[in-house]
Amino acid sequence: MKKKIIAYNRVETPVLEDLQKKYDVYFYKNIDTKTDPLFLEHLSEAQGIIGLELEVDKELLEHAPHLEIVSNVSVGHNNLDMEQLTERGIMATNTPDVLTDTVADTVFGLLISTARRIPELDQLVKNGEWKTEAIEPEYFGTDVHHKKLGIIGMGRIGQAIAQRAHFGFDMDILYHSRTRKPDVEEKFSATYCTLDELLSESDFICLITPLTPETEGMIGKREFQLMKKSGIFINGSRGKTIVEQDLIDALKTSEIAAAGLDVFEKEPVNAINPLLQMKNVVTTPHIGSSTYETELKMSELAAHNLEAGLNGRKPPNLIDESVWKT
């Protein structure tokens, strides 16, 4: 009998079609996973889950007695209750590496767009408000090259950001991470420092840690106050790593100059969120990894992980290796 799989939110079409040849696949999108009766029925039979941002918690797992593996189509796995999964011996996997450069490009794109006010000035041109041959100084931006960049979370993506900053833009790099990385320091002439030093000395700050109990709300009122008034803050991690209301306040009181945000406390972001009214805030809808090429690679890797797990092979990207019994 074919194994049963729940596919959720995003599995690229060619990958989904390939899975459909080998398994019974039930694809769901934009449903209430706590109450949807058909979803819960399929979940009760499923051996595998593959997808993006499905909240896999105790309640969901209680409806999934046959589950063997949850394969995230993302590197972030804050949607998974790892304690519950491990306790039940259910494998969980993610998609590191294949998206690293794409996310670093997004973060750097946000950084340049925010510093040079590209979306705001694009609107000005398109609205017919470019009135003088020489644009007025009130529309000038700030330089990116040769400035100081602070990276919080010097992992795979953090290092790809550092590479762009160091080799492409001659920036000075400060970083703060759980551990010091001498190879990174040498490669990008980066300096390790405390979080407070990084916040007070950087011209640009990129946050790119995972969302964990330790990083939840790690950037709030105190941290924004430590930043330079000319400071530009970029968040590519998860919305909940910052206290969003404190960011709003810091921008309103000019505690910092501007922000570039790919992620929000609540997604999709609420249309009345004050951040959306601010000219000095550049936003994108959580598209860090969303290019055709990279999303396909993520789906392929997630399917590879899923199929390994379902067929008795160790998935290459097991998050908690302790569940693998040889």
Ligand X SMILES: NC(=O)c1ccc[n+]([C@@H]2O[C@H](COP(=O)([O-])OP(=O)(O)OC[C@H]3O[C@@H](n4cnc5c(N)ncnc54)[C@H](O)[C@@H]3O)[C@@H](O)[C@H]2O)c1
Residues that bind ligand X (CB under 6 A): 75-76, 96, 99, 103, 152-158, 176-178, 208-212, 214-215, 236-238, 262-263, 286, 288-289
Residue whose CB is less far from ligand DGY, 105 or 185:
105
Q: Shortest distance, CB of residue 298 to ligand DGY, whole angstroms?
A: 7
Give just the sign of the alpha carbon dihedral 278, 279, 280, 283.
positive
Minimum distance of ligand X from residue 303's CB (angstroms): 18
Vertex 115: Cα angle to 176 and 217 (nearest 5): 40
Cα–Cα distance, 139 to 117 (Å, whole number):
8
Match 């949607």 to its residue by tokens. 79
Q: For tokens 């501007």, what's the residue?
A: 258
Q: Are 241 and 211 in contact (CB under 8 A)?
A: yes
Least separation in angstroms between CB 103 and ligand DGY: 7
Rule CB under 6 A: choose which of 155, 288, 309, 315 binds ligand DGY.
288
- Give which of ligand X, ligand DGY, none residue 253 binds (C-beta under 5 to 8 Å, depending on kind): none
Tell me whether residue 180 is one of the annotated catalytic residues.
Answer: no
Residue with smaller CB distance to ligand X, 212 or 253: 212
Rounded to whole angstroms, how far apart are CA atoms 199 and 176?
Answer: 10
Q: Which is nearer to ligand X, 42 or 181 (CB)?
A: 181
Let me know: does 235 contact 209? Beta carbons within 8 Å: no
Catalytic residue selected from 238, 255, 265, 300? 238
Tokens of 51: 């997808």
Q: Per CB under 6 A, which region of 81-89, 157-165, 265-273, 286-294 contacts ligand DGY?
A: 286-294
Contact residues for 29 (Cβ-Cβ < 8 A; gap 6+): 8, 9
176 catalytic residue (yes or no): no
Using rule CB under 6 A, residue 209 touches ligand DGY: no
267 noted as active-site residue? yes
Could you tell which of ligand X, ligand DGY, none binds residue 152, using a CB distance below 5 to 8 A set by kind?
ligand X
Tokens 């007695």 belong to: 65
Q: Would you say 39 or 264 has its CB closer to ligand X?
A: 264
Structure token digits, residue 265:
């406390």
Residue closer to ligand X (CB basis): 33 or 94: 94
Of the residues 286, 295, 300, 304, which is catalytic?
A: 286
* 226, 200 contact by CB (below 8 A): yes
Stretch that binds ligand DGY, among 70-78, 111-119, 186-194, 301-309 (CB under 6 A): 70-78
297 interface partner picked from ligand DGY, ligand X, none, CB below 5 to 8 A per type: none
Four-CA torsion 161, 164, 167, 168, nearest 10 degrees: -150
Buried b (16+ CB within 10 A) or exposed e, 110-123: bbebbbbbebbbee
Residue 199 in tokens: 């916040």
Q: Min. distance of Cβ 121 from ligand DGY in angstroms?
A: 28
Question: Catalytic amino acids?
Answer: 238, 267, 286
The binding site for ligand DGY (CB under 6 A) comprises 74-76, 99, 286, 288-289
